[in-house]
Amino acid sequence: MIECVLTQSKFKPYSPDATAEMLGMDRDSVVSIANEYLSCIDEDLDELQRAIQENDYERIAFASHKIKGVAANLGMEHVSSMASHINTHAKKTIKIDYNLYYTTLERVIKITNKQLQTKSRN
């Protein structure tokens, strides 16, 4: 799972066009909403990181679920998938290396943001 998202060359690009079509919205609105979401995601990431540091599975599940849901609605497949993986394990109180998955989630978000900024200029 982690290996498939660690290299940008294997990373399916984020497509605001596909998301706009899926949602029945115009592309500019999707780009605006996606930019707003990514500019505010640090609060959710901070909460997730604190929950991981405290081994609080309930809070890990809640924070990752929030990230997963919004990302899925915006068509950010890799962000949603990584957050979903964290969420699934936390809900079942399964011990995994949450710090590794958190770091990977951060990287996936940065790549998605970079892709969005590149596509915003096109």
The low-confidence residues of the chain, meaning pLDDT below 50, are 4-9
Protein fold of 15-121: Four Helix Bundle (Hemerythrin (Met), subunit A) (1.20.120)
- pTM, two decimal places: 0.87
pLDDT at site 5: 47
User: DSSP character for 94?
Assistant: -
pLDDT, position 12: 78
Tell me which residue has tokens 């790549």. 111
Question: What pLDDT score was predicted for residue 57?
Answer: 98
CA atoms within 13 Å, Cβ hemisphere of 53: 6
The C-alpha atoms of residue 49 and residue 122 are separated, in whole angstroms, by 34
The overall average pLDDT reported for the chain is 90
Q: What is the pLDDT of residue 10?
A: 62
- How many whole angstroms separate alpha carbon 49 and alpha carbon 34? 22
